[in-house]
Amino acid sequence: MTAGSQDPPDSETYTKGVPMGLLDGKVAIVTGGGRGLGRAHCLALAGHGAAVVVNDPGAGLHGENTGETPAEAVAAEITAAGGRAIPDHSSVTDWAATEKLIALAAAEFGRLDVVVNNAGILRDRMLFSMTEDDFDAVIAVHLKGTFAMTRHACAYWREEAKRGAGRGGRIINTTSGTGLFGTVGQANYGAAKAGIVSLTTITALEMARYGVTANAISPIAHTRMTAGIAGVAVRNPVPDGPAPEGFDPQDPANASGLVVYLASDASAWLTGQVFRVHGNRVQRLRGWRAAGEYRSRSGGAVEPQELITGLPEVYGTTPAGRLPDPAVHGA
């Protein structure tokens, strides 16, 4: 094709000249869907044709009961715009309730295609001040909640495949910069978010045979969970380059375009990946990779003494004027 020309739209994108949504006919569950990122994801998924189960118990930032019902508001917003949505108030920390949530989506809309694990709370403290409950509560919502939803959804998709009705599925998890790079005062949150990355990788490996993909996103956005974290703006400066007037690089909705894509059939080739989303940029992240090595002098096990000079060389911290080690370079 010539430069500047475009590929013709395929039949899944247009029917009789009428544009179709990327997610027409699909059913999604979004946990933590009542506020911030979750709300933005729900609206975007519905806007592209999906029926959405908006899950949110209305808990406060630290997991406390507030009596609020944000899931109702988001579901009402979607239906008022002509979409399909129902609210759910289950806690993702409840094993039986998450299993029922999967069944609810299938019963209400006839199927389940997408699970977006987004629910979260914070209990920030320095390590020496963090209580057992602070740690357990955050792990329960972020890591256990993501596992519970993923486990029950995967069991559903596996059963569908076994009876010949498998259509695959999409798991979209939420990690964070704290889980990837670390943040002071968030040992519980960081441990949970790092665990979610590993869970995503393993889910991708185990569920590939059933046509289920699993990916994770790390959004940079201004939400109630980031509002009180010191240094967020410094660590995540606004991306440079042109942007439309009025564009807010910290808007939670900036990450929802990627969520819609990962939820669609177009992303079937992509699994086990982690993405960072900042403003108008989607970045591919790569996990742990060897960046240097030291080999023992003997060819056997490394002796601790040789690492005194060996490891600084691996890290490139050996002073240029340092005398060579006779044991390595000869007298």
Residue 263 · residue 50 · CB < 8 Å: yes
* Alpha carbon 260 to chain centroid, angstroms: 13
Cβ-based neighbour number of residue 326 at 10 Å = 8
The residue from 189, 218, 264, 267 that is catalytic is 189
State yes or no: is 14 an active-site residue: no
DSSP 271-318: -S-EEEEETTEEEEE-----------SSSSSPPGGGHHHHHHHHTT-S
Distance CA 173, CA 153 (A): 13
Active site residue 298: no
What DSSP character marks residue 326? Answer: H
**Residue 154, H or E segment:** helix 145-162
Q: Which of 176, 170, 212, 172 is nearest to 195 (CA)?
A: 176
List all residues 6 or more positions away from 188 whose beta carbon is below 8 Å from its beta carbon. 123, 130, 134, 135, 137, 138, 139
Cβ-based burial of 294 (10 A; exposed 0-12, middle 13-18, buried ≥19) = middle
Active site residue 162: no
Residue-wise over 229-257: b if at least 16 C-beta within 10 A, else e?
beebeeebeeeeeeeeeeeebbebbbbbe
Q: Give me the catalytic one of 91, 176, 218, 264.
A: 176
Residue 57: name the closest of 31, 89, 30, 86 by CA.
Answer: 89
| Maximum distance among all Cα pairs of the chain, rounded to whole angstroms | 82
Cross-strand bridge partners of residue 19: 14
Q: Of 26, 156, 193, 218, which one is the catalytic site residue?
A: 193
Residues annotated catalytic, as ranges: 176, 189, 193
